[in-house]
Structure 1
Amino acid sequence: MAKLKEVCTFYSGTGFPTKYQGNDEGEYAFYKVSDIANNVQLGNTYLSVCNNYISGEIAKEIKGCILPKDTVVFAKIGEAVKLNRRAITSADCLIDNNAMGLAPIQDKLRLDYFFYYMRNLKMEKLAESTTVPSVRKSLLEELEIKVPSLEEQKEIGEILDKVSVVIQTRKQEIEQLDLLIKARFVEMFGDPIYNANNLPMMCLNDLGVWNSGGTPSRTNPAYFTGEIDWYSAGELNTLYLEGSIEKITEEAIQESAAKLFKAGSMLVGMYDTAAFKMGILKKASASNQACACIEPNETVNIVWLYYSLQLMKEHFLSQRRGVRQKNLNLGMIKGFEIPIADRGKQDEFVCFAEQVDKSKVV
């Protein structure tokens, strides 16, 4: 075993002045946390998509930390910590000061072996319990990693590569099943954005009771020792939500702005890259203030609503506000209108979707 500080070089991020942002040419790519997320979501192990570039002169002016090729980068602060996204630099570059980089020392660690280690490191468990989650460099330096011989590392990496191919193939199969469900929705109800079937329009506010979540005070760590699921918007990644990273107590619900939402309600993300991510609660749970929640009435089947909103997601996201961070708010979401089908037809579609979903676990 070895400590990370013994087998890796640590690189910090650099503050990125607004006046230098937005250039699509330059000597160095300057990756923000959102760029790391975009690359991971595109399936890129190595960073290739970037929205900002700077010259060598500007890098010197801002005292930028240049990260070498083959450095593993990740978010170190904010809700992005909980998403556990990792990528590898493909050339010398910079990262913003919300991120960190670790480069394995070549005669001690193979990059592929180390990357698998980092991908499986649950960073949110290392984050300090403050209002904004953050991971300290000093803590990471003391983490231990098993360091077999370089030949053994190569063998382990090759095995994990094969496993990754199987996982990726399965993900692609699941994505195709999701496309099948969405195609069936359009076949039955038309594209909800254009409403060619002339279905009646209703505000989301009229489809149930809406609320937003809240965060118990981090100054009372006891609030976060309970069994009640407490979701952040970044965790809304599946149709049904199986369990949150953090849990809170009943006292936290009673003594803060947090609320207990009923099973069968649906959470909707409101802020930045998590805007309009959604998930349906399988049991009574809470969320932070970055989530809205609808407890549906009899007008709508919540699973039907989930797929309807998925198809209209980009339409709604285009109405976000903000310059540096594109956000929605509860009032905006409640005011959005969607075409509403007959409840019987909704239920028919949901039966189809549930049958397809069963194929995902075969």
Structure 2
Amino acid sequence: MNDYSDGLLPQNDTHRKIIHIDMDAFYAAVEIRDHPELKNKAVVIGQDPRNNNGHGVVATCNYVARQFGVHSAMASAKALRLVPQEKLKFLNPDFAKYRQVSLAIHQMMAELTDTIQSIALDEAYLDVSQNKLGATSSVQLAIDLQARIRKEVGLNCSFGATYNKFLAKMGSEYSKPLGRTVILPSEAKSFLARQKIANFHGIGPKTQARLAELGVYTGGDLQKMHVRQLIDQFNRAGYMMAAHANGIDLSRVVPDNERNRKSIGIERTYEPCVYDEQVALTNIRNYALDLSEKLQNREFFANTIVLKIRNNDFETVTKRHKLDHATNASTEIYEAARALFDPLATQFLNVGIRLLGVTATDFSEADFENITLDLFTD
């Protein structure tokens, strides 16, 4: 611990064995696996704007597309401008297929431990401190799992193996694709000191800008900040920054069967405010894609969609729509949210939209009777 903690940070726990698995460009990789002729193409998962009145959002893309500057949540029309036409291939997402691949991968994880926290179809934490194989090396477990996924599913993943969730996620992102990052307790602070602040999960562009004003650009700079100063500047977020910069994260891996949520929502505050209807609709469409993925990952179907909107005068309206049937499809979530948005659009856009959010709630679980049971181990 540095001299700037003033006793405010907790005692670190370095005894756990945590692995973070992150599939490499998952949706695009599944499509390229099934269509090898796309291997050298810039594959973008999302609606082709040429067939959709110029609309659409990039759900994800392969590494070829990323070399041209394409990234998730980008407007598809911009991707169209960045990539040469002969190199570019748009594909609509096939979440049913991605979900089945994800289930196969999760089955492999479940053979190692029951303590699995899924973050998305392509990402999960595993606590292998006590594992089903009786293995003492979390690194070897991660290497074996990575190799098995590649052999049996035909896809690459990256992993971070260390003693807490924050470091494990940072590790899996450190050397993609097909990355292997091991962070020992004795190396954690020096590893973090070398990282740019933008690589710290949970520190967004606005906070990065504020930190830059304080002369903080790297984890090492953050380690030199007094915890009290960070708390004064950023409240609870400042405390978390200080803890993470010192390699401390005491949050546990919460097994999926313990994470009983009544709703899943996404909302964002805009500065400057949004005045363009197409920008608002693009964000709603992006939220729908994200919510669909989260619902499918948890085998949930939403019966109700909620729209939350706030204008520049801080007038806030929340509207709910009960669906005719439960769904986890992004198109249906989007259409329900848009139906709630349309009557409010003119009123709120004239003043400027400061906040926009979409929530899925009133869940039903999937009916597993029609799903092949050998996909599951528990």
Could you tell me the TM-score, scaled by structure 2's length?
0.28
Q: Taking CA–CA contacts closer than 8 Å with sequence separation of 6 or more, which of the two structures ends up with the larger relative contact order?
A: 2
